[in-house]
Chains A and B, each alone.
Chain A
Amino acid sequence: MEEDDDDDDDDNSLFPTTEPIIPLIPFDLFPICPFGCQCYVRVVHCSDLGLTSIPRNIPPDTRMIDLQNNKIKEVKENDLQGLISLYALALNNNKISKIHPKAFQPTKKLRRLYLSHNQLTEIPTNLPKTLAELRIHANKVKKIHKDAFKGMTSLHVLEMSANPLDNDGIEPGAFEGVNIYHIRIAEAKLTSIPKELPSSLLELHLDDNKITAIELEDFNRYKDLQRLGLGNNKIKDVENGSFANIPSIREIHLEKNKLKKVPPGLPQLKYLQVVFLHSNHIAKLGVNDFCPTGGRKKKALYSGISLFNNPVKYWEVQPSTFRCILARNSVQLGNFLN
């Protein structure tokens, strides 16, 4: 794990478990806190207050501000002034359509930014370079500009599902130089697997899109991929050799697509443990569709293969098709949900 030397505080958790201090100190010394909010152990809770703007008088040593479920329309230039210790900012479920390009400038340690369920039409410019997690689910983002993530070398998690983003909305080079491990762009308008996402990806989730095929070069960059989610798309074909680019893959979800056969190349994936193929149009299973032949061995047995809701005739399936599974109940063939 990488060193993080830009923050040497002892309690970095989102919700410090230290006991909150009840202010029984003399009332003249009552700590400042916006009316209706609670401020303790450097966490400021201001959710559900109907606020229309970010409140003033937030204690300057605050590490986390919870402003979710309010009516904030805008993050203004000076809203975060002086909050140099801020580490997490939850602005989800507001009406934010505008973020001032200098709004985040005062923050020097911001790691988590939650902007889900707002009205943003693009990834805000000048996001703090310190961010490790960005959530911008259910906004109106159509475009990721070339410089959107520029210099954000610590960004590890990007969740931007439920936005009207299509493949052309991702400008070439937008992800250059970033090391994201987990990306989710589900419920969007993608028609193919984006090819220019960071090569550091361990998890890629693109469920609920309009992807029609998996092509040979799709995974060229994503050599370390371990989990792949492509459920609920329109995938008909998986080109031969596509999966050979992701030898570390452990989990592939291809349920609710239009596959007519088991995708090629699964037996060569030594670490593959989970394959979801239910609710497709698979009519036939080959005896070598899942397990390697000859002396080759899997490094991990299958713990979950789902095939229910396919027109396959189960009585025709050869038992040895599943010779490399962990236990009998690792395969779900019948038309039932476990």
Chain B
Amino acid sequence: MRLALLFVLLLPACLAKPFHQQGLFDFMLEDEGSADMPPTDDPVISGFGPVCPFRCQCHLRVVQCSDLGLEKVPRDLPPDTTLLDLQNNKITEIKEGDFKNLKNLHALILVNNKISKISPLAFAPLKKLERLYLSKNNLKELPENMPKSLQEIRAHENEISKLRKAVFNGLNQVIVLELGTNPIKSSGIENGAFQGMKRLSYIRIADTNITSIPKGLPPSLTELHLDGNKISKIDAEGLSGLTNLAKLGLSFNSISSVENGSLNNVPHLRELHLNNNELVRVPGGLGEHKYIQVVYLHNNKIASVGINDFCPLGYNTKKASYSGPLIASALGIKESSFKAVRDKTHCKDDFKLPTHLSVTD
């Protein structure tokens, strides 16, 4: 009798298929994965169970919950979710259990919320997380215990003033680190903070308050973007060990000098942006540089350009020729001085006005 009653009670629930949205991201032909909700051994008994949160869209393991005015992370997210987009909401805090069960999550987008607190255990279940986007929040520090699987961390436009070594400890898969528009000071960056990130290839610390190139950057770095800071000079030490660096962005600082030999430390540099600084002469070492192809020097205080400032003496030993815009507009420079450069240098073939060398006032 009791059993019969139970049966009657459960019957309608069994007839009702678990709710799932269909037809949404058909185009995410991602694959084999079933579009249906995962089978739930713990059905809707407690609350609503793991269905797609109301107003979100869930399909093929992408959960899209942006622009909903959410004040917290929705509960009962489908456990097979690989991408969770929560951008443009009003989330203030990431709590310990917010991502429990999401062990397949690859990308977590929390951009443009009001997050000021992240529980140290919140990310613990995310064993496969590769991308963590925390930009436009109110974080004072990067969270500790970020998943070791991370390849990309973005925390642009927060209130981060300190970068501690402990935060990056063990994050040896990180390739991209973007920390721009934060009140970071040079003194707030712990010595060797980035050293453990053995795969780090791209770092951007733009529009902060740092006054020098951070020390102890890993040799794996291919791009270093430090524009819009308060850096006043480049010394050789700042770039030492960066043998793989290909792109260096230092525009909009107050750099007045580049120590001789600095560019020797970055032998594979291809692109150098030093526009909008206080330079009075073309940085030394460009002429001997083998791979450099793009140099931005406009909006500095360079009054004259030497014949050998850009191109090597003697036979052309450059392995790559200048391409793209070599913009060298500076107050006082006359186009004629570039003509002199052009006519007398040995890399003149690659050095043509106006396409490769632009001069503007």
Shortest Cβ gap from A163 to chain B (Å): 11
Nearest A-chain residue to B133, judged by Cβ: A47
Contact B135 A14 (CB under 8 A): no
A35 near B273 with CB under 8 A, answer yes
From residue 288 to 338 of chain A, which have CB atoms closer than 8 A to chain B?
Answer: 297-301, 303-304, 324, 326-327, 329, 338
Give the chain B neighbours of A229 by CB distance below 8 A.
54-55
Measured CB to CB, the closest approach of chain B to A256, in angstroms, equals 13
Q: B197: CB under 8 A from chain A?
A: no
Least CB distance from A210 to B in Å reads: 17
Residue of A nearest to B156 (CB): A48
Q: Is the CB of B67 within 8 A of A30?
A: no
Least Cβ–Cβ distance between B152 and chain A, in angstroms: 8
Say if the beta carbon of A102 comes within 8 Å of chain B.
no
Which residue of the partner chain, among B24, B67, B202, B227, contacts A138 with CB atoms under 8 Å? B67
Segment 120-135 of A: residues with Cβ below 8 Å from B: 132-133, 135
In the complex, what's the smallest C-beta–C-beta distance from B61 to chain A, in angstroms?
9
Contact B24–A182 (Cβ < 8 Å): yes
- Which of the residues A12, A226, A304 comes within 8 Å of B48, measured between beta carbons? A304
CA distance A47 to B151 in the complex (A): 17
User: How far apart are the CA atoms of A196 and B202 in the complex, in Å?
Assistant: 49
Residue total for B at the interface (Cβ-Cβ under 8 A): 70
Whether B54 pairs with A253 at a CB distance below 8 angstroms is: yes
Please encode chain A, from 14 to 26, with 1 for each CB lying within 8 Å of some chain B CB and 0 for all others.
1101001011100
Hey, what's the 0/1 contact readout for A93-135 against B, CB within 8 Å counting as 1? 1000000000000000001000011000000000000001101
Summarize A's interface: helix, strand, loop or mixed.
loop
Interface flags, A56-69, vs B, CB<8A=1, else 0: 00000000000011
> B16 within 8 Å of A by Cβ?
yes
Q: How far is the CB of A15 from chain B (nearest CB, A)?
A: 5
A: interface residue count bin: 35 or more
**Contact between A1 and B13 (Cβ–Cβ < 8 Å)?**
no
Contact residues of B between 207 and 250, Cβ < 8 Å to A: 207, 220, 222-223, 225, 227, 244, 246-247, 249
Contact B29 A48 (CB under 8 A): no
Contact: B204 with A329, CB < 8 Å? no
Decide: A182 and B16 in contact? CB cutoff 8 A.
no
Min CB–CB distance A12 → chain B (angstroms): 5
Q: Do B47 and A304 touch (CB < 8 A)?
A: yes
Q: A15-B83, A17-B130, A203-B21 are in contact. Are A303 and B44 (CB under 8 A)?
A: yes
**Cβ of B49 < 8 Å from any Cβ of A?**
yes
A40 to chain B, nearest CB (A): 8
Q: A145 near B: Cβ within 8 Å?
A: no
Q: Given known contacts A1-B23, A326-B45, is B16 in contact with A271 (CB within 8 Å)? A: yes
* A279 lies within 8 A of chain B by Cβ: no
Which residue in B13, B46, B244 is a CB contact (below 8 Å) of A329?
B46
Residue among A36, A324, A338 facing the most chain B CB atoms (10 A cut-off)? A36
Contacting residue for A299 out of B15, B82, B88, CB 8 A: B15
> Which residues does chain B contribute within 8 Å of A23, judged by CB atoms?
201, 222, 246
Cβ-based interface call for A190 (8 A)? no
* B-binding segment of A74-82, A154-162, A236-244: A154-162
Establish whether residues B57 and A182, one from each chain, have CB atoms under 8 Å apart when the complex forms: yes
Shortest distance in angstroms between B83's beta carbon and chain A's nearest beta carbon?
A: 6
A14 lies within 8 A of B83 (CB):
yes
Q: Which residue of A lies closest to B131 (CB)?
A: A15
In the assembled complex, B301 has its CB within 8 A of some CB on chain A: no
Are A111 and B27 within 8 A (Cβ)?
Answer: yes
Does A278 count as interface, using CB distance less than 8 angstroms? no
Q: Which residues of B contact A205 (CB under 8 A)?
A: 55
**Chain B residues whose CB sits within 8 angstroms of the CB of A159 once the complex forms:** 67
- Cβ-neighbour of B24 out of A28, A47, A156, A161 (below 8 A): A156
The reply to whether the CB of A38 lies closer than 8 angstroms to some CB of chain B is yes
Indicate if the CB atoms of A162 and B67 lie closer than 8 Å. yes
Assembly CA distance A157 to B44 (angstroms):
27
A132 touches B27 (CB 8 A): yes
The chain B residues found within 8 Å of chain A, CB to CB, are 12-13, 15-16, 19, 21-30, 35, 44-49, 54-55, 57, 62, 66-67, 82-83, 88, 106-107, 111-112, 130-131, 135-136, 151, 154, 156-157, 175-176, 178, 180-181, 199, 201-202, 204, 207, 220, 222-223, 225, 227, 244, 246-247, 249, 268, 270-271, 273, 291, 294, 319-320
**Can you offer 18 A-B residue contacts whose CB atoms are under 8 A?**
A7-B29, A15-B83, A20-B175, A27-B268, A27-B291, A35-B249, A36-B227, A48-B181, A69-B111, A132-B27, A137-B88, A156-B23, A156-B26, A182-B21, A203-B21, A229-B55, A304-B48, A329-B47
- Top 5 closest A-B pairs, CB basis? A300-B16, A48-B156, A137-B67, A303-B44, A181-B23
CB within 8 Å of B: which residues of A? 1-2, 4, 7, 11-15, 17, 20, 22-24, 27-28, 30, 35-36, 38, 45, 47-48, 50, 68-69, 92-93, 111, 116-117, 132-133, 135, 137-138, 154, 156-157, 159, 161-162, 181-182, 184, 202-203, 205, 207, 226-227, 229, 250-251, 253, 271, 273-274, 297-301, 303-304, 324, 326-327, 329, 338
